[in-house]
Amino acid sequence: MERLPLSSSILPAAKPSESEAAHVTRTSPSLRRFRFAVWLAFALLASLIVGVALSLIRFDREQALKRAESELLSLTRVLEEHVARSFGETESVISEIAGHVVRRGGLEAFGEQELQALLRQRDASLPEADYLFVEREDGSLAADSNSLPETAPPTDRTGGHKPAMPQLLRDGVEIGSPTRSPASGQWVTPLSRQIFDPSGKYLGTAGAAMSHRYFEGVYQELDLATRDTILILHATRAITLIRHPQAEGQIGSSVTDSPAIGADLQQRSMIVTASTAADPVERITAYRRLADRPLIVATSRPMDTALADYYEHRDRILAAAGVMLALLGALAVLLHRDTMRRDTERAALAELNATLEQRVLQRTEELEHSNRELLSFSYSVSHDLRAPLRAINGFSHALAEDYGDRLDETGQSYLIRLRRASLRMGELIDELQKLASVSRHTLRIENTDVSAIAHEILDELAATSPGRVVQSHVEADLSADADPVLIRNALQNLLANAWKFTRDSQPALIQVGGRPHGDEKLFYVTDNGIGFDMAHAAKLFQPFQQLHRRDGFEGSGIGLASVRRVIERHGGTVWAESSPGTGTTMFFTLPRSPAMVRRPREKLNA
């Protein structure tokens, strides 16, 4: 069919009639339906993308909270054991001192220096105590360990036989309210026990001042998260005995609003997410009540600290969803503009010459037929995400073959861009799902043969490129305690990149190796490919970042982001070293023996 040029030589001199103007400005119903279908498809796909993104965000948040609760519960169990041991050792020393007093028949049997020497000797073997003391029956101080001379007898650490203690105590050890030590000025918590002879006569009181500084020193050695808090509470008095880190006005303060006070802890533990009057910051708190003492150990973490990793993952998901929505919107705008352009051309042909009306009608009929085909495709968008993308690509290919000669250069350009956008969006959907699957995958740690996995991947790459000659070397007996599925995912991306970027190297060299690296194992994949400028290394592991797209190396920009997520989930790190023209080495580390709350437990038991 011959196309008439839209030149000024054929423009009618007269203005079109009112009926002709109405005909010109009237939009084709099929094009209106098509535009409606395009925007409906955009709305449905956008809703689906937003829904998937929100689901991933909600899942990541739940997982972050579960991890924080698990860590706090584990830490609280360890601290419970330490508190029970510390208070138990102190109570034993107090009981031993009381036994000495009973066996000697009372405090009058001791000389002042002798009683002080006994207290000093026991205090030297008790780092938990700031000082020991004994009071007479009238409440006056008989002796304390702080007033002894420097030349005190050495502590007996042999643990020799001690005679059995009679049941002399009526009410056991009493835990007092925190106070300042008169000797050191530091916070202490007093423990006291009344002394009675076998006949029931009250002889006095033996006690110890539990040093808060001792507990502070122990807790400072723990690998706590930022702004984590440790509390030791008196369950019946509802007060704070010990707090780390110390806060002005908190020691000895009432905690009657704490959920653990008065709670029915059948399992001796509970997890609460709340704030209190003393601390308005919302926290996740794990409580454990000691079995044989009126004490509660609590560890808490601010909600924003517990969700720090979640916020980072959320931002990445939102960024990825934003890119997908932008691409989808660009595709919808492109289709909308294409239909608007068709309307404009149709109106221009009608204005140019009434004799072209038949041709315009014929063209309109052809366009309506094409629109009906596209319309049938657009209605299927709501049922599947991938099928519409495949249909867009297929129909655009058919349009190029059947109607390509009727499209001008701009139309051809739009058609090519449409096909590329649909293919690109399909690839992004695939890669984003792969990236999301890395986060959802449940870690199954086992001894993994890294060398065998690397050999398998290199064999697969060689099978896909039979014409290439690549010299590869994989160090023998490389292994790691890791998830084999995720490690294969990471190695697949690293080796595929090395294979791709060495295509112009003669010969192409790829090497996989490893070595010890402190408490970790270091692995590396090195090649002699085109390399890159380290000035761009910061964005190398970010989603949708490609350094060599202009050099003819295609990719989605998701592979190295997936590698980073795999390695970080194992507790390792990944980085690159490279220079243009000399090749690239990708390094990553994996822990020798992954564990969650192991270091705090080891330090307390040491």
- What are the chain's domains? 19-63+309-438 (no CATH), 103-148+168-306 (3.30.450.20), 445-599 (3.30.565.10)
Backbone CA torsion sign across 34, 35, 39, 42: positive
CB under 8 Å, gap of 24 or more: what pairs does 109-117 form? 110/142, 110/143, 112/143, 115/142, 115/143, 116/143, 116/144, 116/145, 116/147, 116/148, 117/148, 117/152, 117/153
Query: Cα(346)–Cα(357) distance, rounded to whole angstroms?
Result: 10
Q: Are 218 and 283 in contact (CB under 8 A)?
A: no
Average pLDDT of the residues in 527-544: 80
Q: Cβ(135)–Cβ(161) under 8 Å?
A: no
- What local confidence, expressed as pLDDT, does residue 250 receive? 77
Q: Which residue type, as a one-letter code, is found at position 305?
A: T
The predicted structure's pLDDT at residue 380: 42
Q: Could you give the 3-state DSSP secondary structure of residue 378? A: helix
Confidence of residue 164 (pLDDT cuts 50, 70, 90): very low
Query: In the structure, what pLDDT confidence band is assigned to residue 60 with cuts at 50, 70 and 90?
Result: confident
The predicted structure's pLDDT at residue 596: 38
Rounded Cα–Cα distance for residues 80 and 286 (Å): 11
- Rounded CA separation 478/450 (Å): 5
Q: What is the pTM of this model?
A: 0.45
Look at residues 143, 142, 139 and name the one whose alpha carbon lies nearest to residue 131: 143
Q: Is the pLDDT of residue 499 over 80?
A: yes
Structure tokens at 199: 């006949």
> In which band, very low, low, confident or very high, does the pLDDT at 171 lie, cut at 50, 70 and 90?
very low
Closest CA to 130 of 144, 118, 116, 148: 144
Half-sphere exposure in the Cβ direction for 540 (13 Å, CA):
20
Backbone angles phi, psi at 523, to 5 degrees: -120, 155
Q: Which two tokens stand for residue 10?
A: 């054929």
pLDDT at 383 over 50: no
Three-class SS of 96-165: HHHHHHHHCCCHHHCCHHHHHHHHHHHHHCCCCEEEEEEECCCCCEEEEHHHCCCCCCCCCCCCCCCCCC
Percentage of the chain lying above the pLDDT 90 cut: 11
Q: Residue 35 has what pLDDT? A: 76
Query: Is residue 580 predicted with pLDDT exceeding 90?
Result: no
Closest CA to 169 of 135, 202, 196: 196
User: For residue 129, what pLDDT is reported?
Assistant: 85
- Please, which pLDDT band fits residue 356 given cuts at 50, 70 and 90? low
Cβ atoms of 470 and 594 within 8 Å: the answer is no
Q: With a cut of 70, say whether residue 524 has pLDDT above it.
A: yes
pLDDT above 80 (res 247): no
Cα dihedral across residues 563, 566, 569, 574: positive or negative: negative
**C-alpha to C-alpha distance for 580 and 532, rounded to whole angstroms:** 5
Q: Are 592 and 481 in contact (CB under 8 A)?
A: yes
Mean pLDDT (the chain) is 76
Non-local CB neighbours of 56 within 8 Å, separated by 6+ positions: 317, 436, 439
Mean pLDDT computed over 16-26: 46
Highest mean pLDDT (candidates 58-67, 176-185, 436-445, 541-550):
58-67
Q: Burial level of 133, CB count in 10 A (0-12/13-18/19+)?
A: buried
Cβ(301)–Cβ(283) below 8 Å = yes
Bridging pattern class, strands 179-180 and 187-196: antiparallel
State the average pLDDT over residues 300-310.
84
Q: Which pLDDT score, from 0 to 100, does residue 259 have?
A: 65
Enumerate the β-bridge partners of residue 299: 230, 286
Q: Which two tokens stand for residue 541?
A: 């592991």
Q: Name the β-bridge partners of 270.
A: 287
Closest CA to 335 of 398, 256, 392, 268: 392
Rounded distance, CA 323 to CA 312, Å?
17
pLDDT exceeds cutoff 80 at 13: no
- Say yes or no to pLDDT of 235 above 90: no
Q: Is residue 215 pLDDT above 50, yes or no?
A: yes
Lowest-pLDDT choice from 210-214, 357-361, 409-413, 511-515: 357-361
Query: pLDDT digits over 390-429, tens only?
Result: 777 777 777 777 777 777 888 778 777 777 777 666 666 6
First to last CA, the chain: 91
* One-letter amino acid for residue 95 of the chain: S
Contact 118, 336 (CB under 8 A): no
Q: Using CA of residue 93, residue 97, residue 98, residue 100, what is the dihedral sign?
A: positive
List, in sequence order, every beta strand (DSSP E) within 260-341.
269-274, 283-289, 295-302
* Cα(425)–Cα(381) distance, integer angstroms: 14
Q: d(Cα 339, Cα 232) in Å, to the nearest integer? A: 72
Q: Is 307 helix (H, G, I), strand (E, B) or coil?
A: coil
Name the 3-class secondary structure at 367.
helix
The dihedral built from the CA positions of residue 256, 259, 262 and 267, taken in this order, carries a sign that is negative
CA atoms lying within 13 Å on the CB side of residue 8: 0
The answer, yes or no, to whether the previous bond of 163 is cis (omega within 30 of 0) is no
Q: What pLDDT, on a 0 to 100 scale, did the predictor assign at position 353?
A: 67
> Strand 479-482 to strand 446-449: parallel, antiparallel, or no bridges (unpaired)?
antiparallel
